[in-house]
Amino acid sequence: TLGTQRASLEAAAAARAASAERLPVRLVRGRTSALAASGLQSLLQDYATASRVSVTRLDVASVDDSAGATTVAIPATVTAVSDVYGLAEFLARVEHGNRLLEVTELSVSPNSALRGDLLQLSVSLRAPYILEP
């Protein structure tokens, strides 16, 4: 049955993908979950660079492709140092950026070892993703 309806199924999938691209906030995408995780890592690094946040550690977990539909999000943790303005800008980019990101944990503390009233930031988040055909 699937073989006989292949053309209509492919057209329906293409229509859904096109409608998803028109949304202001999109999911992280990749041909494999590892590529989607790599895209998330690049996105977070770009947000940090644009916000003048110095990333000290960026961990993005790879998700097993064989897990199928049970795994719907890629977890990531960013540890960084910044002033309060950079921190606020980074969090605004995470919240209002063009990719859907869910913050699951946020920790901000003063870093007395550094001069200039810098803050230590640790944010854990999840990024829902879809696999591209």
Locate 25 and state its tokens: 């906030």
Listed residue (25, 51, 53) closest to 127, CA to CA:
25
3-class DSSP assignment, residue 62 = coil
Kindly compute the dihedral angle of the four CA atoms of residues 28, 29, 33, 35, in this order, to the nearest 10 degrees.
-100
Locate 52 and state its tokens: 């003048």
In the block, tokens 């790879």 appear at 62
pLDDT at 51 over 90: yes
pTM: 0.75
- Confidence band of 114 (pLDDT split at 50, 70, 90): low
- Confidence band of 108 (pLDDT split at 50, 70, 90): very high
Give the separation between CA 52 and CA 59, rounded to whole angstroms: 19
